């Protein structure tokens, strides 16, 4: 088990929970939080991989499937009882979607994305906030996506991530009087194992993903984790209800392609 965050640490001393912490952005967040001195609970439906990450960082692993309300409630109660009071929650559990046309996208696939990415995030917020509200302190960071702020051919994923942004804003106002902050982070196209697998299958064109960003590259999972560290701790103590893009400038650069794209200074 990692040591409690020292007094000089910007992070709260309680437990930091990362859902979807077994891989991708979630695993990067778990590693970054532990490196900053936090005690981290890695929660994931793939318990074996969660245990591997937890062992690496000196944390604890918990089985969690955010698609099921009772499982989320059980996991939240288990972490509070067995590991300690939760001060920070990072909701990173989610699945991707193949960019199919609406009539080619099976409703089962649409339902799965909405159930996990949108509903699962809300369930996590609700379950883990109970202890935070009693203690009058806490920080919740929901991993959304830049697709939630633009029109893209992702007819389940983008609406689900737009909902995550809206959920975060609503809960920030609801729970702010109790000292619980809620923010979201919208990563750009991030080089996770899941995205790399989609690239390898030909489902994503890496040149388009990187070329449409102002910095002309993909985001690294560790860069999203850096934003999580900021929003989790004391250096952002007056910030709640925001959506923080970590996107290598994708949001600002995409409209430039109407005019031929971004360009190097002369």
Q: How confident is the model at residue 255 (pLDDT cuts 50, 70, 90)?
A: very high
The pLDDT assigned to 198 comes to 83
Number of domains in the chain: 1
Q: Is 52 within the bounds of a domain?
A: yes
Q: How confident is the model at residue 161 (pLDDT cuts 50, 70, 90)?
A: very high
Q: Is 93 within the bounds of a domain?
A: yes
Q: What is the pLDDT of residues 140-159, one digit of tens each?
A: 999 999 999 999 999 999 99
Mean pLDDT of 121-131: 98
Q: Is 203 within the bounds of a domain?
A: yes
Q: Is 171 within the bounds of a domain?
A: yes
Q: Is 21 within the bounds of a domain?
A: yes
Share of residues in the chain with pLDDT > 90 (%): 88
Q: Is 224 within the bounds of a domain?
A: yes
> In CATH, what number is assigned to the domain containing residue 55?
3.40.50.720
The pLDDT assigned to 9 comes to 64
Q: Establish whether 157 is a catalytic residue.
A: yes
The pLDDT assigned to 119 comes to 98
Show Cβ contacts of residue 158 under 8 Å, excluding neighbours closer than 6 positions.
Answer: 145, 147, 148, 150, 151, 152
Q: How confident is the model at residue 160 (pLDDT cuts 50, 70, 90)?
A: very high
Q: What is the pLDDT of residues 214-250, one digit of tens each?
A: 999 999 999 999 999 999 999 999 999 999 999 999 9
* Whole-number Å distance between alpha carbons of 209 and 192: 13
The full 3-state SS of 30-59, as one line of letters, equals HHHHHHCCCEEEEEECCHHHHHHHHHHHCC
Is the pLDDT at 80 greater than 90? The verdict is: yes
Q: Is 22 within the bounds of a domain?
A: yes
The pLDDT assigned to 266 comes to 82
From 122, 157, 189, 259, active-site residue:
157
Q: Is 10 within the bounds of a domain?
A: no
The pLDDT assigned to 207 comes to 87
Q: How confident is the model at residue 4 (pLDDT cuts 50, 70, 90)?
A: very low
| Structural domain span for residue 90 | 15-259
Buried-exposed string 17-49: b where 16+ CB fall within 10 A, e elsewhere: bbbbbbbbbbbbbbbbbbebbbbbbbbbbbbeb
* Whole-number Å distance between alpha carbons of 13 and 158: 35
């Amino acid at each position: 088990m990692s040591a409690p965050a020292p007094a000089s640490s910007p992070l709260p001393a309680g437990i930091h929970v990362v859902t979807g912490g077994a891989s991708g952005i979630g695993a990067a967040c778990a590693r970054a939080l532990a490196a900053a001195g936090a005690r981290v609970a890695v929660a994931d439906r793939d318990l074996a991989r969660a245990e591997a990450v937890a062992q690496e960082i000196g944390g604890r692993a918990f089985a969690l499937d955010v698609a099921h309300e009772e499982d989320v409630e059980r996991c939240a109660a288990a972490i509070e009882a067995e590991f300690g009071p939760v001060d920070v929650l990072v909701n990173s559990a989610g699945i991707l979607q193949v960019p199919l046309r609406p009539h080619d996208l099976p409703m089962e696939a649409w339902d799965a994305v909405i159930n996990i990415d949108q509903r699962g995030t809300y369930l996590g917020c609700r379950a883990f906030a109970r202890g935070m509200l009693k203690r009058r302190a806490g920080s919740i960071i929901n991993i959304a996506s830049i697709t939630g702020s633009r029109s893209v051919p992702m007819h389940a994923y983008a609406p689900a991530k737009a909902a995550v942004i809206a959920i975060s804003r609503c809960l920030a106002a609801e729970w702010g009087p109790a000292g619980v902050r809620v923010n979201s982070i919208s990563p750009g196209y991030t080089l996770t194992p899941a995205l790399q697998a989609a690239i390898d299958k030909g489902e994503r064109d890496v040149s388009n993903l990187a070329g449409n960003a102002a910095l002309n590259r993909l985001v690294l999972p560790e860069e999203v984790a850096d934003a999580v560290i900021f929003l989790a701790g004391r250096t952002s103590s007056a910030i709640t209800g925001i959506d923080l893009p970590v996107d290598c400038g994708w949001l600002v650069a995409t409209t430039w392609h109407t005019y031929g794209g971004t360009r190097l200074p002369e």
